[in-house]
């Protein structure tokens, strides 16, 4: 079972960009409002973890797709 779909390269690029933008939006929101209270901890734990995980997976999938495309046949 593969953890990525080689046909969805553009989707992985889009996901990496959106994850990075959302990560910075969350950081700015936490900085502007202050990281106090349970809502801030939810943003830190769930929001940033999801963004980071999605970003890393998208980069990993793009790396696998690119290495498969450039592999000698």
Write phi, then psi, for 34 (nearest 5 degrees).
90, 140
Q: Which residues contact 9 (CB under 8 A, 6 or more apart)?
A: 62, 65
The C-alpha atoms of residue 57 and residue 59 are separated, in whole angstroms, by 5
Half-sphere exposure of 49 (CA within 13 A, CB side): 6
pTM of the predicted protein model: 0.84
pLDDT tens for 30-39 read 999 888 888 8
pLDDT tens for 8-37 read 999 999 999 999 999 999 999 999 988 888
């Amino acid at each position: 079972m593969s953890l990525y779909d080689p046909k969805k390269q553009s989707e992985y690029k889009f996901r990496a960009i959106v994850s990075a933008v959302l990560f910075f939006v969350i950081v700015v929101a936490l900085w502007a409002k202050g990281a106090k209270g349970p809502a801030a901890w939810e943003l830190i734990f769930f929001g940033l973890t999801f963004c980071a995980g999605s970003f890393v997976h998208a980069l990993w999938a793009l790396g696998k797709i690119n290495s498969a495309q450039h592999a000698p046949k």
